[in-house]
Every structure is written in C-alpha cells, then in structure tokens.
Amino acid sequence: MTEWQQRFSIEGRRALVTGASRGIGAEICRVFADAGADIVAVARDREALARVAQDVRGKGRECLTVAADLASQQGPVEAAETALDQAGQVDILVNCAGIARVAPALELSLEAWEETMAVNLRAPFLLARRLAPQMMARRWGKIINISSQTGVIALRDHAAYATSKGALNALTKSLMAEWAEYNIQVNAICPTVVMTPMGREIWSPEEKSGPFLAATPLGRFGEPVEIADLALYLASPAAELINGAIIMIEGGYSSV
C-alpha cells in the first residue's frame, strides 16, 4: 500500500452505520468495506440488512447486523451496546438513519414532529454518547453525522426535517468542542437530494425537480456513492484536522 493509500485507508477499523439497510447508509457500508473496515450495520429491516451484510462479506470484511428501532429511547442505546458486546469496539460512528415527514407547518402533526426529532436528532445523540467513552479511552474516534442542506437553507414543507437537521449540525459542533481533546473528530455532511430509490420516486416528476435543479448551479442531484466517498474521507486519517465541520455537498445550491 502506498503512502497516499494509507492516508485514505480505514483498514482494521470498525464502523457502526445506522440506516444501513438501503440508500446512502448501505452505500457507506460497501465503500467503507472496500477501504478495509469491518461493519456494524444498524436498521429495522432484517432482510435488507442481510443483503448489505452479504455485500460487505463479499469484500472480505466482517459485518454484524443489528435490528433496532431508532425512534425509541432504548433502540439506539441497545444497538450501541450490542455492537460493543459482540464486536468489541467501534472506531467510527456514522449516523445516517433519518426520516422526513413533509407537510406545511400548519398541517404537521405533533406525532410527526416528535418522530422526526427522535430518529434524526435524539438517536445520533444517544449513539454518540454511548460509544464515545471507548473512543476516548483509545484516544481515537470518528463521528460522522449525515445531515442535510435543509439544515442550513430553507425548504418549504420541511419544518420538522429542517429543524432536526439544523439541530444535528449544532450537536455536531457541541460534541466536537467537548471531545476534540480525546482525538475524536465530529463532522456533518449536508447533501442535496440524493438519488436513492426513495429520492428517485419523490423527485423524478419534472414539476417538483425542475425548480430545485434550476437553482442548483451544477444542475443535478447527488448519487449515494458521492456521499459515501465524502464519509470515507472524513473517516480516514487524511481528514484528522477537520473537526466540527458542516460540509455542504449540493452542487452549489447554497452559494448563489
């Protein structure tokens, strides 16, 4: 392995990835496995997790699957404890699980608001808090929060989602301030619409995607592997000076 490959390698590390059964989370599992990491894949869908695990093992890496309901208070804690009990340690945490309840603010139910905050904000906090002590003890850790450009700029009908992601960005900076002295980097990635199966279903209609793309200088949405590649960079030794960053990956939307 050359020096530059070593700088971008996560060989020998173990990464816990939430939302791992599909979309961006599943792609992060595959990309991290390519780069040498063993995976703890966390999601609700056991069958989909099994398929991701097969992909990871096909790359010669270990994959522990953990079925968990991250909307509950105990789900994130139990997932972290299962990972530590069965895998021994977690070096990298990727909080990728997320939900979006799209509705005008006047029509948004309190139930939808609470569920969004539970999955998008409370779960990352609980996972990070449970996994951080063993990172501190080793003086090495990476926490990567998959946020959204909507946590930085406004988007109609996304009051709950945008609030949860804006708060996740604030949490990212707060945890960085507390844990940087232990050589833990905490960063957030803020993607545009990403062409996962769900993204294609929602954003394929021209009447919906057209105005959004017209406001995006690059003129296109993202692909899961592009978000996974950025996550890999943040997880690698090459990014050890980057801490508390809120990184936009959205084709220039927020710059014009």
CA-to-CA separations, 93 to 112, 199, 217, 232, in angstroms, rounded: 26, 24, 32, 12
SS3 state at 186: strand
Write out the catalytic residue numbers: 161
Q: Cβ distance 192 to 253 under 8 Å?
A: yes
CA-to-CA separations, 89 to 10, 11, 12, 84, 131, in angstroms, rounded: 14, 14, 11, 5, 9
The three-point CA angle 233-234-236 to 5° equals 65
CA-to-CA separations, 201 to 97, 165, 194, 206, 208, in angstroms, rounded: 18, 22, 11, 12, 11
Strand order in 63-67's β-sheet? Answer: 63-67, 38-43, 14-18, 92-95, 141-146, 184-191, 246-249
* Distance between CA atoms of residues 168 and 150, nearest Å: 11
